[in-house]
Amino acid sequence: MAWSTRELAEMAGTTVNTVRHYHRLGLLDDPDRRYNGYKQYGVLHLVSLLRIRRLVELGVPLSEISTARLTGDVPPEVLRQVDAQLAAEIQRLSKARTDIAVILRDGAPADTPAGFESVAPRLSTADTSLLHVYTRLYDDDAMKDLQRMAENDTDPVNAQLDAMPADADEATRQDVAERLAPVIARNLTDYPWLNNPGAHLSQSENATQQTFVDAVVALYNTAQIDVLVRASRLAHEQLGHPRAATDDTEPQ
């Protein structure tokens, strides 16, 4: 019995384009042609195609299948490598499913940084964006601390800071800064590493500081930045170790 390309593809449970792709890669031998030029595939072609499909199902790369065609089999070390890759992918997919379940449970935006789903509704766009940047600057332990800070920080001053326009007057700025300072001071006390975050950095200190400053300037308006600087300075003064707030790179 002879099959056309379409019939062979259907018999093997694949597509005509896939069969042609395997031909181009040299994985599948060209069949004889009928008098009218149409290809005619036989059982051996079907078996070869099914063998290829089996290896593809296992995750074996096509380049290794090509080598196996010459050597007779896929080496065990290749299968072990494929197995390790599959294990990593299963772990990634499992985490993705867990994250999706949390997102659906908390009604958080799908792009919320992992671990911050429960507080996402009360985070501003700027705050969420800054958290995304933090994920590339700080290690997992630091991010867990930031998560706890966000969960415990329900002070209404945050909403006022988020809503502050760039032309906020002096009195408003100072008032918000004075009410925000205790929040920052509490975080500095509860999480001492904020005063010296070097051990929790994923990047160099210079890269972290520059990225943090660039992010704050890009995400917050001038009045909000002014308030953050004032509040940070006040917080350090309240704790008895004044320092230049503009030098701070820790999340506050």
Instruction: Dump pLDDT digits (tens) for 77-133.
Output: 999 999 999 999 999 999 999 999 999 999 999 999 999 999 999 999 999 999 999
DSSP 154-200: --THHHHHHH--TT--HHHHHHHHHHHHHHHHHHHHH-GGGGSGGGG
Confirm if 14 and 51 have CB atoms less than 8 A apart.
no
* Mean pLDDT rounded to a whole number for the chain: 92
Residue 72 scores a pLDDT above 90: no
Across the chain, which distance is largest between two alpha carbons, in Å?
A: 95
Q: Does the model's pTM come out above 0.85?
A: no
Residue 230 scores a pLDDT above 80: yes
Question: Which of 215, 213, 160 shows the shortest CA–CA distance to 183?
Answer: 160
What is the band of 244 on the pLDDT scale with cuts at 50, 70, 90? very low
Pure H helices in 25-75:
43-58, 62-71
Residue 106 confidence (pLDDT)? 93
* Residue 136 per-residue DSSP state: T
Confirm if 118 and 151 have CB atoms less than 8 A apart.
yes
pLDDT in tens, 19-37: 999 999 999 998 888 877 7
